[in-house]
Structure 1
């Protein structure tokens, strides 16, 4: 028999959507895949150089559980520059991507029965990991406030069991970028109620003007000792397959993470560590700037095509590289005609009729939305979004 905890979670909804797209494509149907949370790009030259050099030097041994000390020093300098707060290497854990950083955070701060506030829609892994740690996700609905949580709603959700607030900005899946006041208020709420802040800024490199990404500890230095920063290079350097990220937080938390990680993955991949260290030491921003331009161009193209949608409002797409479509109007129209329509129905029809793979909002706790990634090749994005708009507009 399987362990009881396996009943508490299921496979990632985004992974399931990608698998469904691959299955249909394997049957011979041409599919344009807008499900993946990654940017189509070559590897940064500095990353390649660092990896090749490490391989040529026959580097193949364990590192410190928390990662190379030189890499942790480099990350501390990076985070210090980004937050205007001093950070040291013993406040940094290098992890196998942001997912491990999030898992580590949940496992070392959440006790069975603790509640964690999570704005919804949410990335599917957030509540799953809280549940695995024995906690209870408490969802804060944001659809009525342009996908940005209101302080009043957060405050009303706080109970004596509340242990943490999980903040993800720029947000996956909605693309919302939280403004200064929202973040400052959330930080003050955490201070007032002695809550942890888990601050996921994996999409921080992709805030689209006039929107700006703000590290929460910059706005609220007093929240520093209760904030865990989660980040990775999967998005900012298009390194999803390399699995390299980090967790930054108080020394006591990082010490507990060391013990936990020593029993899970040991150290992160040593070649990826050396590759990232070389990139950080060269300090060349050219590749990341090129990646940001690529994403910006894709966003502009996508928004120009999506203006053709007549029953779906244009997505804000303030940050990241996702369009999040609000299907509420389509659902109301369908209901007026005597039928129910949810996001799963829409995603299924788009896949089979339009040959476009999307992620249903049900994966994010929202039966009235679908997520489209615009991190793909521009030509395919153009084709895919035109097929999608043509299909959705037939439902008016």
Structure 2
């Protein structure tokens, strides 16, 4: 018999979408995959140099459980500059990607029955890890406010059991960016109600003008002692497979995370750590600019094509590298015929009729949305979005 907690979880919706795309391609079908949460890019030269140097030095031993002290110092400098206030190495844990940082945060903060507010649509891992930790996700609908939560809705959802608020900006899947006013409001709410803020800024490197990404502690320094920052280099450096991220927060939380990590994964990959340290020490502005330009060009080309949709509004795509399509009107028209269609039906039709793999909003708690990644090759993106637009404009 399996443990009861396994019945509480479903497989990752984004991972399932990728698997579906690969299975269709394995059958010989021509599939354009718009499911992956990653950018198609080479490795940054300074990251490659750091990794090769570490291998040449035969660095194959354990590091400190929560990462090299030199790397944590370098990350403290990075966060200090971004948050406009000082951070120290003992306030940072290096993790095997952002997922482990989030897991450590949930396990360190939550007792059974504690509630966590999560704006919806949400990244599928947020509620899953809260459930594993014994907590209860409480979802806050944001569709009516351009996918940004209203403070009044957050306040209405707070109970005596509420322990934390998840803030994900730029948001996955919607691409929405929280402005300074909403961040300041959330910070004040957390202070007034004695709540933790779990601040996921993994897509912070990709904020599209005129929108700007703001770390919440730079907007509200007074919330620093109740904020956990989660970030990784999977998106900003296109290093998804390297699994390297970090958790930053109060020393007591980081100490608890260290104890937990010592019994789960121990230290992150030592070569990835040294590669990242080399990058942080040397920088790689040419690579960063190239990556940001690639994403910006893909966004512009994609928005131009998607503007041809007749029953689906053009996505805002303020940050990150996803287009999130609101299918409310398309589904309303289709459902006049008596059958209740949702985003799963649209995703299945796009795969079978147009050879395009996308992620249904049901993975993110939204039966009327579809997520499209534009981090892929530009020619494939053009082709895929042309097919998608033609299909949705005739779909019923």
Normalised by the length of structure 2, the TM-score is 0.99
TM-superposed CA distance for 1:249, in Å, is 0.1
What pairs up with 1:270-281 in 2 under 5 angstroms? 270-281=270-281
| Secondary structure of residue in 1 paired with 2:347 | helix
What pairs up with 1:212-291 in 2 under 5 angstroms? 212-291=212-291
Q: Distance in 2 between matches of 1:254 and 1:286?
A: 33
Query: Where does structure 1 lack aligned partners over 5 or more consecutive residues?
Result: none
Q: Distance in 2 between matches of 1:13 and 1:335?
A: 24
Are residues 1:299 and 2:299 paired? Answer: yes
The C-alpha deviation readout for 1:288-342, integer Å capped at 9, x for no partner, is 1211110000000000000110000000000000000000011110122322210
Report what 2:308 is aligned to.
308
Report what 1:121 is aligned to.
121
Q: Distance in 1 between matches of 2:285 and 2:89?
A: 23
Report what 1:353 is aligned to.
353
Q: Distance in 2 between matches of 1:154 and 1:260?
A: 30
Report what 2:203 is aligned to.
203
| Secondary structure of residue in 1 paired with 2:137 | strand
The C-alpha deviation readout for 1:49-104, integer Å capped at 9, x for no partner, is 00000001100000000100000000000000001010000000000000000000
Report what 1:110 is aligned to.
110
The C-alpha deviation readout for 1:320-379, integer Å capped at 9, x for no partner, is 000000000111101223222100000011011100000000000000000000000000
Q: Distance in 1 between matches of 2:267 and 2:160?
A: 36
Report what 2:371 is aligned to.
371
Are residues 1:338 and 2:338 paired? Answer: yes
| Runs of 4+ more than 2 Å apart | none
| Secondary structure of residue in 2 paired with 1:310 | coil
Q: Distance in 2 between matches of 1:6 and 1:212?
A: 39
Are residues 1:83 and 2:83 paired? Answer: yes
Report what 2:44 is aligned to.
44
| Secondary structure of residue in 2 paired with 1:37 | coil
Q: Distance in 2 between matches of 1:86 and 1:45?
A: 29
| Secondary structure of residue in 2 paired with 1:149 | coil
What pairs up with 1:24-63 in 2 under 5 angstroms? 24-63=24-63
Whether the 8 Å contact between 2:170 and 2:178 is mirrored in structure 1 is yes
TM-superposed CA distance for 1:3, in Å, is 0.3
Query: Where does structure 2 lack aligned partners over 5 or more consecutive residues?
Result: none
The C-alpha deviation readout for 1:255-310, integer Å capped at 9, x for no partner, is 00000000000000000000000000002322112111100000000000001100
Report what 2:4 is aligned to.
4
TM-superposed CA distance for 1:38, in Å, is 0.1
Q: Distance in 2 between matches of 1:285 and 1:68?
A: 24
RMSD of aligned residue pairs (Cα, Å): 0.6
The C-alpha deviation readout for 1:140-159, integer Å capped at 9, x for no partner, is 00000000000000000010
Whether the 8 Å contact between 2:342 and 2:368 is mirrored in structure 1 is yes
| Secondary structure of residue in 2 paired with 1:2 | coil
| Secondary structure of residue in 1 paired with 2:55 | helix
Q: Distance in 1 between matches of 2:201 and 2:285?
A: 19
Whether the 8 Å contact between 2:45 and 2:284 is mirrored in structure 1 is no
Whether the 8 Å contact between 2:46 and 2:283 is mirrored in structure 1 is no
TM-superposed CA distance for 1:123, in Å, is 0.3
Q: Distance in 2 between matches of 1:148 and 1:393?
A: 28
Report what 2:180 is aligned to.
180
Q: Distance in 2 between matches of 1:17 and 1:103?
A: 23
Q: Distance in 2 between matches of 1:334 and 1:353?
A: 17
Q: Distance in 1 between matches of 2:335 and 2:229?
A: 43
Q: Distance in 1 between matches of 2:334 and 2:200?
A: 37
Normalised by the length of structure 1, the TM-score is 0.99
Q: Distance in 1 between matches of 2:362 and 2:133?
A: 23
| Secondary structure of residue in 2 paired with 1:126 | helix
